[in-house]
Amino acid sequence: MTEITMPSLSDSMQEGTILSWLKRDGDEVAAGDELVEIETDKATMTYDSPADGTLQVVAEVGQTLAVGEPIAQLTDGAATPAPDADADADAPAADADADAPEPPDAREAAAPEQPVEPAPTPATAGASSGNGAGPDSAGPADPADPASPAEPGVRATPLARRMAGVHGVDLAGLRGSGPRGRITRSDVAASAGIADAPPTTPSAPTSTEAAPTSTEAAREPASTPPGDGSQELTRTQQLIARRMSEAKATIPEFQVQTEVEIDDLMALRERLKHQADPPDPLPSLNDFIVKAAARALRRHPRANGSYRDGRFQLHEQVNVGVAVAADDALVVPTIREADGRSLGAIAREARRLAAAVRDRSITPPELSGATFTVSNLGMYGMTAITPVINPPQAAILGVGAARAVPALVDGELRERRLMTLTLSCDHRILYGADAAEFLSDIRRGLESPLTLVTG
């Protein structure tokens, strides 16, 4: 038997959500077959079967599990004997329903007339700590549990048996919706005519933070102003919130800022517009900025580094992340080895990655490995942006809009186009002079744009 666990599909993935099973429970699968679609903190990915065998699904669609937790099993295809009462009562966790347990308060609120349940077992205590495991996923039902009557010939999860005992539901008369017809908590709740509490996830309240009962949850909206509401974060939004909070709380940051004259750059882009071949995209202002930053990063190794565990980690590759606005989130795909790419190659790769972000085909490797980030809000008319560092990078460059300003040139008043660049830096690895020299290097490259085209 081969156990399949939640895989780690990206460098920052801690948990994943089962979006769909591409093979059905009981199907014969071969190594390399697409098995399951998983939503990670960065993208939606398919995971292939690691071996041959008969699929036994453990984790149901919609369930969120930590990396390393079991999601399925592959058996050698031998026939499985028909279950009897004892075998069903002692079924292992891999054959149990993947529904996470109801919070104890929710069960008590749903049936206030019932006696208080026995003190939690060690497995139950583990569930209250928010690790995503519980009595129903950890093993068989406790035979001494008064709410877990054994019914010969009935396949049901331990939680379903307890709920049936509490609400007086005859399991023998139910048709199970779980794997291989197993009766789940939702089946019992539907038969009893009660609301089924949503499954808990690893982000559930800890044992020191009691989860609100269903009665409390029902009263809560009354104290909320009319029209207000709450919205659950997507996995990408959760990752952004966590990383940005960590950055602001742990990184001693400072900013340096400069103005760049881009008249020559804009004139060069106009010439390139008439010379470029139709299949090749015209390099944008942001493409020039990425190229200038990549060249400067090669000359300033600490700006391309990280501060980790009291050491400077200096990266060999110059990989520039480009912030792209997606639906309700900010995604940062990576242009790898940007310092060695031509301006045209950077333009093509930037368009490809941006399109992949917007059509949700971007992959975790394309979102990983950046050593520096460029965040440009100029297209929205913002004159400047002070971005938050994307840890563990040493710095991030904020780009404002190109704007026309009057300037005195050789005694005459002329119009000049300026752009504001703001560099947010981690003071543990970059100091004021380092940051100023690095940003000045970027400015010089943009003010001499021909060097970016030919270099």
Q: What's the sign of the alpha-carbon dihedral 424, 425, 431, 433?
A: negative
Q: Residues 67, 69, 75, 81: what is their CA dihedral angle, to the nearest 10 degrees? A: -160
Rg value, the chain, Cα: 29
Indicate the pairing of strand 320-322 with strand 372-376. parallel
Residue found by looking up tokens 């984790």 in the block? 59
Q: What's the sign of the alpha-carbon dihedral 43, 46, 50, 56?
A: positive
Catalytic: which of 167, 274, 315, 427? 427
166: left (phi over 0), alpha (psi -120 to 50) or beta: alpha
Cα separation, 106 vs 416, whole angstroms = 66
H or E segment at 420?
strand 412-426
H or E segment at 187?
helix 185-192
- Two structure tokens written together for 409: 């040139």
Q: How many Cα atoms sit within 13 Å of 115 on the Cβ side?
A: 7
Cα separation, 355 vs 337, whole angstroms = 20
The Cα angle at residue 319 between residues 242 and 418, in degrees rounded to 5:
90
Q: What's the Cα-to-Cα distance from 217 to each of 132, 199, 220, rounded to whole Å?
A: 21, 15, 5
- Two structure tokens written together for 56: 């036994």
Q: Is residue 427 among the annotated active site residues?
A: yes
- Cβ-defined contacts of 141-146 (< 8 Å, 24+): 141/89, 143/89, 145/118, 146/118
Q: What's the sign of the alpha-carbon dihedral 137, 138, 140, 146?
A: negative
Point out the residues that are catalytic. 427
